[in-house]
């Protein structure tokens, strides 16, 4: 069969032949792949920079996708057993990680179904389960112009946020976010003092209840500087900052005054959630996507062109590979 095969960390996978998968018992399924999205996490894993990067090569790239089981059931699936991945004509995955695709009036096309669940479920779990967003709260999405950030803006509104502030670099994407849920935008491409003032202005007197941070690095340092008090003052509310990504840098400088002067809790996404939470998030995302409440832009590319697609940057749009 043909697949996107990674031979060396830091290189793009090659479209070539790979041995056919075989199931180990009845708990695994052979899946004919119909579509697999190309996400930043796959590039990070292939580069060797991700904690889940492969240790033995070669492997097939891809962590999730859309396909058909042996009986023809159409599914969204994840967890392919290495060395197999989802960017292939066929793969093998646990049946427990095969989710029946919506059908009938809730049906979603292959490209959207391949692209939506990963970032959508991630954003839903981050907001609903980790940040525990409550109706009426104010949210800042730091890195809102990426795919997951765009969905986080929409999901925050679905979950009842009274105000959502979107911060990012791509001005066109920021402008679009005003049309799909953002109440205000912050352009990150300004000097540190101006950016600090922008964060202070949008935080207002009440501050942010929730910050979802896909960036880390300098933008987060500037945000924390904006939230730091310069005098003793009563605590009005606690800010819950959830660290999700590091596209602006893997580390920050964190002055002690940030934590002593204001009520802020910094937490990570805390690994895999329970299966019940995962299933609930999946159902919510797919249902909202089917009814147009969650929007994601996709571009279909033949799997044979994976090497060229790997090098492309498509801000705000998800490439979906079609075997």
State the pLDDT confidence band at 233, using cuts at 50, 70 and 90.
low
128 lies in the same domain as 38: no
Domain enclosing residue 197, as ranges? 119-268
Give yes or no for residue 231 having a pLDDT over 70. Answer: no
What is the C-alpha to C-alpha distance for residues 188 and 169, in angstroms, rounded to an integer? 5
CATH number at residue 9: 3.90.180.10
What letter would DSSP give residue 88?
A: B
Residues 77 and 103 in one domain: yes
Output the pTM of the full model. Answer: 0.86
Rounded to the nearest integer, the mean pLDDT of the chain is: 93
Residues 138 and 253 in one domain: yes
Same domain, 264 and 301: no
**How much of the chain, in percent, has pLDDT values that exceed 70?**
98
* 225-252: average pLDDT: 86
Residues 108 and 134 in one domain: no
Q: How far is CA 173 from CA 52, 169, 195, 237, 246, in A?
A: 30, 8, 18, 30, 19
State the CB neighbour count (10 A cutoff) for residue 152. 29
> Is 137 a domain residue?
yes
Planar angle of CA 86, 60, 315, nearest 5 degrees: 65
Let me know if residue 176 belongs to a domain.
Answer: yes
Tokens of 101: 């695709």
What distances in angstroms separate CA 239 from CA 32, 46, 139, one per listed residue? 45, 35, 10
The CA-atom distances, in angstroms, between 34 and each of 29, 57, 78, 203, 292 are 15, 24, 13, 44, 22
Q: In terms of domains, do 129 and 233 share one?
A: yes
Domain boundary among 251, 268, 285: 268
Is residue 274 a part of any domain in this protein? no
For 103, the token pair is 């059908």
Retrieve residue 40's tokens: 């930043």
DSSP state of 111: H
The H-assigned helical ranges of the chain are 40-47, 110-115, 117-124, 147-158, 171-177, 192-203, 217-227, 256-261, 275-290, 306-311
| CATH code: domain of residue 247 | 3.40.50.720
| Same domain? 123 vs 262 | yes
Q: Does pLDDT of 235 surpass 70? A: no
Same domain, 75 and 100: yes
Residues 104 and 142 in one domain: no
Task: Give how many domains the chain has, as a whole number.
Answer: 2
Rg for the chain (alpha carbons), in Å?
21
| Residue 17 resides in a domain | yes
SS3 4: strand
| Residue 154 belongs to a domain | yes
Query: How much is the average pLDDT of 241-247?
Result: 93
Residue 58 covered by a domain = yes
Given a cut of 80, is residue 36 above it in pLDDT? yes
239 versus 229: which is more confidently predicted? 239
Angstrom distance (rounded) from CA 4 to CA 187: 37
Same domain, 92 and 128: no
Per residue in 146-182, pLDDT (tens digit) is 999 999 999 999 999 999 999 999 999 999 999 999 9
Q: Is residue 275 part of a domain?
A: no
Question: What's the pLDDT at 10?
Answer: 94
144 shares a domain with 53 = no
Q: Is residue 94 part of a domain?
A: yes
pLDDT confidence of residue 232: 65
What pLDDT is attached to residue 145?
94
What is the rounded distance in angstroms from the CA atom of residue 261 to the CA atom of residue 283? 40
How would DSSP label each residue in 16-76?
Answer: EE-PPP---STTEEEEEEEEEEE-HHHHHHHHT-STT--SSS-EE--SEEEEE-TT--EEE
Same domain for 199 and 141:
yes
Question: Could you say which of 268, 283, 305 is where a domain stops?
Answer: 268
Is the pLDDT at 11 greater than 70, yes or no?
yes
Query: pLDDT, tens digit, for every residue of 84-124?
Result: 999 999 999 999 889 888 888 778 999 999 999 999 999 99
């Amino acid at each position: 069969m043909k697949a996107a095969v990674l031979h060396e960390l830091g290189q793009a996978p090659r479209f070539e032949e790979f041995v056919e998968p075989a199931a180990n018992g009845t708990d695994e399924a052979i899946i004919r792949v119909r579509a697999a999205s190309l996400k930043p996490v796959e590039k990070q894993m292939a580069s060797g920079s991700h904690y889940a990067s492969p240790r033995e090569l070669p492997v097939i790239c891809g962590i999730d996708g859309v396909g058909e089981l042996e009986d023809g059931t159409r599914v969204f699936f994840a967890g392919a057993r290495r060395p197999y991945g989802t960017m292939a004509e066929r793969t093998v995955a646990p049946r427990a990680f095969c989710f029946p695709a919506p059908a009938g009036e809730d049906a979603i096309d292959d490209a959207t179904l391949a692209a939506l669940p990963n970032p959508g479920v991630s954003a839903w779990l981050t907001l609903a389960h980790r940040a525990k967003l409550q109706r009426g709260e104010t949210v800042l999405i730091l890195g809102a112009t990426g795919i997951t950030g765009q969905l986080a803006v929409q999901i925050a509104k679905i979950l009842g946020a009274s105000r959502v502030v979107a911060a990012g670099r791509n001005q066109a994407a920021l402008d679009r976010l005003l049309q799909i849920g953002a109440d205000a935008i912050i352009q990150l491409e300004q000097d540190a003092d101006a950016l600090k003032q922008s964060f202070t202005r949008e935080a207002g007197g009440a501050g942010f209840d929730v910050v979802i941070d896909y960036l880390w690095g300098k933008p987060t340092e500037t945000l924390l500087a904006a939230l730091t008090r310069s005098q003793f003052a009563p605590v009005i509310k606690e800010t819950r900052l959830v660290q999700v990504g590091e596209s602006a840098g893997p580390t920050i400088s964190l002055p002690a005054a940030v934590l002593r002067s204001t009520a802020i809790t910094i937490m990570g996404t805390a690994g895999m959630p329970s299966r019940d939470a995962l299933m609930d998030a999946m159902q919510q995302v797919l249902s909202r996507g089917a009814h147009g409440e969650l929007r994601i832009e996709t571009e279909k590319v033949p799997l044979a062109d994976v090497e060229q697609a790997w090098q492309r940057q498509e801000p705000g749009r998800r490439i979906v590979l079609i075997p």
